[in-house]
Structure 1
């Protein structure tokens, strides 16, 4: 839980107040100046209206040059960021033919498989020649190849579950699978900081959804006790099914879930567990098997294990690993399996090869070296940021590092200054995070050299001085 100081909270709220106040004033005077113009929409409702439209026009547009930056290279340790310019105060952005070579601290390329690899790349090229770039079909029609079966078997073996099923994207894996697993008469208890794909999947399921405080097993138990005692709304009948959904690493916090405690509580109250390991599978644990390995939890104690292939494995898609009966049920009922186009065969081959490297089945120890490097890089970068006085969230060994910015003016300033100094970063603001908790999020890779990280740290330190972001600066203000 982030502890925001009174001074930081006050200045951040005041900054947003100015943004909203002046934005509302501009809209008010614009209405007066345009009162003669026709408002006739011929019966149509405004397609964009309300606070969302106001926020996009008056807040987001000011900083949209810091988002959606196009790149023109593989997302390796260094990337080419395409230069853009605007002649109308960020209302429209125009690309140029130039690019800036930057240290990449924004991509989820945890093990460095996103660029050319001596083992993976030749085999991916061969699969492209053999199978083409897409199956152009759903899995149940003509969209299943031998590669798809091989990847499902390999994923199941890697994570320690009896069976697995793969999907085209990680987002769809959550949003399409959860409504199939639970419906009306069921109860979903979701962590307050779960990913949007989980939130949408829970809403679509028709089950009652309750939320517990982020990574708080005591509050989870309290919610479980209350809901079991109360039963279903109106009828007070027992719940048909209870599903607790958590994440391995919370993507905006960089923190590991308290998995042993949560599993213990779920067993106590006979609730099913569903864990999203999008950011932890392949990236943490001695052999890359995620938070179960890191925290000493038997995968058999988790009912549904979800993960993506688009981060540690340098591919795309997502998977569900569970019992054979559960996987077979999903193959017959999940719309993402029945109707959506299957994973492209070259992407499947990439995931297979990456897994084989991690497992050492490529005949080398490169997988073990990559896993050791990501831990070393992550812990070095986190410790150095803290030594500089920055407020950094998350746990040791986590490759996700949020650095708190708070004030909305510091968000674009930090991003732009980093880009000028050839460091590409991701900044995150409302509504992706709470209004007062704006941040930058660094993602460390095994492909980063120590020199890369030192250079990035020097840049971040200089920008911290410029923007008064160091913790000691905040303490002086409070004094």
Structure 2
């Protein structure tokens, strides 16, 4: 399939073809290992960097025993639920009061099956309270349980120098007290820890503006908006960008915050295979050709949702190919860089810098301050005023 830059999208890869016509020259150049085709006719440059992802596969016996463990745990979970229903075993989980049993349930009982019967038995492997900075080593507060991890009590003992295997403190900025931390201390003493108001009313301070300008400058974009929570940055802003009559094309391995934001928006959601541009292009082509179900009207907006670095898999989005498809089918692109900003690229500016792309090629850049930057909150960034119906930052 041809694309606006003169390349071909095939098998999930973008292949560039060199052309010389009408006196226009095309040349290839390499920078940071990224192949570029630079055309002198004013067209947008397209980049092609082949990503070879290899993930170590677990040995067969490990997978077999893992699934056996889940199967046995599930069977015993059903047995324990049976015993609890008949009052043979005490139920420590929250239950509806008798006078509210005719009410609409807050959640389906089966949704809590894994938490109640499997995760509860092993949750102390992850939920470990610490009492030091989250560096490579930290101090853990010892605790014990008398009821199979439903409740805990602290012993008063501190386990020193435990290896940290699961921190979000990517760059170690939250583990040391330096000049930046003293600046934070001084600002907190003047401004306090919160403003007790929304940004729309009296909640915007000069420090918010200063931070937004700094984020926009760091990302090489025109404007940025900051928010108090990274998860909410996705879940609350996606519904502001799209709604009924719009189409969201979401990677199957997107983070829960993206999934929740898509569901809350009321837009139609379709899933494409992880990092598979063939699957994405098929959905884009069908969306353009067939339009909305039943009415066949054109979609108001088509929004592609991806992550820069996928949090559970560690895979990097195939951004150049996705941008080529986005331009070809005139869709919008929303990229979550919660796990890539600050950690990917020569200067930490994320996946766009990693590929050598212009950040303006992505319509909405989202990220958080809770990983690399050792703080809290999130941001969205992009053009200050764009030509199109998506949003103005």
The answer, yes or no, to whether TM exceeds 0.5 is yes
Name the TM-score, length of structure 2 as normaliser: 0.78
Query: Is contact 1:110-1:283 (8 Å) kept?
Result: yes
- SS of structure 2 residue aligned to 1:142: coil
The answer to whether residue 290 in structure 2 is matched with residue 230 in structure 1 is yes
Q: Which has the higher strand share?
A: 2
Shift of 1:251: 0.5
What is residue 92 of structure 1 aligned with on the other side? 151
Max radius of gyration: which structure?
A: 2
Shift of 1:97: 2.0
What is residue 66 of structure 2 aligned with on the other side? 12
What is residue 50 of structure 1 aligned with on the other side? 109
1:28 aligns with one of 79, 82, 85: 82
What is residue 125 of structure 2 aligned with on the other side? 66
Query: Is contact 1:275-1:302 (8 Å) kept?
Result: yes
Query: Is contact 1:75-1:109 (8 Å) kept?
Result: yes
Shift of 1:57: 2.1
List per-residue Cα deviations over 1:110-155 (Å, max 9, x = no partner): 1211133422012111111211222222222222221111110111
Could you say what the CA RMSD is over the residues aligned between the two structures, in angstroms?
2.4
Shift of 1:330: 6.7
Matched ranges for 1:16-415 at <5 A: 16-32=70-86, 41-44=98-101, 45=103, 50-101=109-160, 102-325=162-385
Query: Is contact 2:246-2:300 (8 Å) kept?
Result: yes
Q: Which has the higher helix share?
A: 1
- SS of structure 1 residue aligned to 2:98: coil
Query: Is contact 1:194-1:247 (8 Å) kept?
Result: yes
- SS of structure 2 residue aligned to 1:42: helix
5+ long unaligned stretches in structure 1:
333-479
- SS of structure 2 residue aligned to 1:321: strand
Shift of 1:289: 0.6
Query: Is contact 1:177-1:330 (8 Å) kept?
Result: no
Aligned residue-pair number: 328
Query: Is contact 1:65-1:93 (8 Å) kept?
Result: no
Shift of 1:5: 5.9
Shift of 1:77: 2.3
Shift of 1:186: 0.5
Name the TM-score, length of structure 1 as normaliser: 0.64
5+ long unaligned stretches in structure 2:
1-53, 90-95
- SS of structure 2 residue aligned to 1:257: coil
Shift of 1:40: 8.4
Q: Which structure has the higher relative contact order (CA within 8 Å, separation 6+)?
A: 1
- For 1:157 and 1:288, the matched residues in 2 are separated by 13
- SS of structure 2 residue aligned to 1:325: coil
